[in-house]
Structures are given as C-alpha cells and as structure tokens.
C-alpha cells in the first residue's frame, strides 16, 4: 500500500489517527454538555442539543478546534475539564512501533494537527509521543485549519517539504482532500478512528484499520 522508497516526509494527524478518537467524541458530545449543565445549572439534554448545534456551525473552521474560543463561548475552563478525564486518552494499536520504526528510518516525521496547543500538550504529556517526532505542527500557529489551502502554503514556507514525496495520514476526508488539492501525493486514512464506533466500510482515500498494515518501514538508517 505504501512504497516507502518514495517517501521522504511523513505527516501524521493526532486525534483519530495516532490517538483513539473516542476520547474527543466522548468529551465534546457527552462529558462537556454534562459539566456545562452542572456548572451553569442547566438541563443537560437541552445543553447537549445546543452545543451540538453550535459545534456544527463552526465545523471545518479554526474555531471548531480552538479551546480558547469554546472556553470564552461557554464560560468554562475547557482544558481543565479535559484533564478531568485525561485517563481516557488512548494510543491506537501499533502506533508506538510504527513511530519507532519511522524514527529509525531516514524519513522526516511531523505531527500535523488541528488540535489546540493546550490539547496537544495534554495528550503529549499523557502519551509520551512527542519525543518520537522531528516536528510538532499546530494549525493555530498559521491561523488556518488543515481543511484550507492556505494552511499547506504556510506549512511549506515554515517547514519546507516536497509534496510529491510526502505521505499524509489523517482520518478526516476534508483534510485529505485539501492536501490532495495542494499536491500532496501519498494519502492514507483510518477506517476506525473511534474504537467504539463501527468501522467505515467506504472511504474516498485508501484506508487502514491499524498501522501494522503498512509496516515494516524500509530505508532504515545505518
């Protein structure tokens, strides 16, 4: 599925790719509505419906991913609430071995995420994955999410890469489509980003269930 001899740069998404998306889905759709309702003394189900509608309004924008934005909008400390259930953060199967093999290769390995930096820090602190990357890139630094072409333009200026020899692995179709439109040649998605939800049977891009399907990684450094 992947010809590693053709790859120089590997870009990896975080949530739903390296980490089980169940943490985020549970937090935003269940835990946060409950805590907001508790804090503001509101009806939990009405709060959930209101929040889901608000999330949909911001989908695909930087605000959708921004903890500062939602902290201000909801008048609750989103990072603090995330830490209340940080024990639920889970690394997907075979991710550690995959990243270790990448580190032993000549590939340039980048974490490229739409997650807010506070969220990134919480997850790196809990998983220890940060040391396995050459670079950690947060889309907020460029003021554009990965869904927008301008993100890739800014990324290439700040972290030069050759789109023809770059592999992006991401669980979000709109991100992969944006990357493809920019010219990134090698694209791969995940078939089950949330371990508690059903496997996706049809994806617009080639997909894997787990990372062992694209190992071993060749071109190991001597």
- Give me the mean pLDDT over the 209-213 stretch: 97
* Residue 63 pLDDT greater than 60, yes or no: yes
CB of 138 within 8 A of CB of 116?
Answer: yes
- Give me the mean pLDDT over the 7-28 stretch: 97
Q: In the structure encoding, which two tokens stand for residue 6, read together?
A: 């053709």
Q: What is the mean pLDDT of the chain?
A: 95
Q: How confident is the model at residue 73, as a pLDDT?
A: 94
Percent of the chain with pLDDT over 70: 98
* Residue 29 pLDDT greater than 70, yes or no: yes
Q: How confident is the model at residue 221, as a pLDDT?
A: 60
Spell out the CATH class of 4-21+90-214. alpha beta
* Residue 178 pLDDT greater than 90, yes or no: yes
- Give me the mean pLDDT over the 108-121 stretch: 96
Q: What is the secondary structure of the chain as a DSSP string?
A: ---GGG-SEEEE-SBTTTB-THHHHHIIIIIHHHHHHHHHT--HHHHHHHHHHHHHHHTTSHHHH-HHHHHHHHTS-HHHHHHHTGGG--BPTTHHHHHHHHHHBS-EEEEEE-S-HHHHHHHHHHH-GGGG-SEEEEGGGGTS-TTSHHHHHHHHHHS---GGGEEEE-S-HHHHHHHHHHT--EEEEES-SSTTSPPPS--SS-EESSGGGG-S---B--
Residue extent(s) of CATH 3.40.50.1000 domains in the chain = 4-21+90-214
Q: How confident is the model at residue 185, as a pLDDT?
A: 97
Residues linked to residue 91 through DSSP beta bridges, in sequence order: 19
* Residue 222 pLDDT greater than 80, yes or no: no
Q: How confident is the model at residue 220, as a pLDDT?
A: 61
| Neighbouring residues of 206: CB distance < 8 A, sequence distance ≥ 6 | 1, 187, 188, 189
**Residue the block writes with tokens 């269930």:** 209
* Residue 49 pLDDT greater than 90, yes or no: yes
Q: Tell me: the pLDDT tens digits for 121-177?
A: 999 999 999 999 999 999 999 999 999 999 999 999 999 999 999 999 999 999 999
**CA 120 to CA 102: how far, in whole Å?**
20
Q: How confident is the model at residue 123, as a pLDDT?
A: 97
* Residue 27 pLDDT greater than 80, yes or no: yes
Q: Tell me: the pLDDT tens digits for 96-110?
A: 999 999 999 999 999
């Amino acid at each position: 599925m992947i010809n590693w001899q053709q790859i120089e740069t590997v870009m990896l998404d975080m949530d739903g790719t390296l980490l089980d998306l169940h943490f985020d889905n549970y937090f935003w759709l269940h835990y946060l509505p409950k805590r907001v309702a508790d804090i503001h003394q509101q009806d939990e189900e009405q709060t959930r419906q209101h929040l889901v509608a608000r999330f949909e309004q911001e989908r695909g924008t930087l605000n959708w991913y921004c903890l500062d934005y939602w902290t201000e909008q909801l008048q609750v400390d989103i990072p603090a609430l995330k830490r209340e259930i940080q024990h639920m953060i889970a690394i997907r199967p075979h991710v550690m071995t995959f990243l270790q093999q990448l580190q032993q290769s000549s590939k340039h390995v980048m974490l490229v995420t739409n997650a807010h930096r506070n969220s990134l820090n919480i997850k790196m602190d809990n998983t220890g994955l940060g040391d396995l990357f050459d670079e950690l890139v947060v889309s907020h630094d460029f003021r554009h999410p990965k869904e927008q072409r301008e993100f890739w333009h800014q990324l290439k200026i700040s972290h030069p890469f050759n789109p023809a020899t770059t592999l992006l692995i991401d669980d979000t179709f709109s991100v992969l489509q944006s990357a493809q439109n920019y010219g990134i040649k090698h694209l791969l998605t995940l078939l089950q980003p949330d371990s508690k939800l059903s496997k996706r049977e049809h994806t617009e891009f080639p997909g894997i269930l787990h990372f062992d399907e694209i190992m071993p990684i060749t071109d190991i450094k001597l």
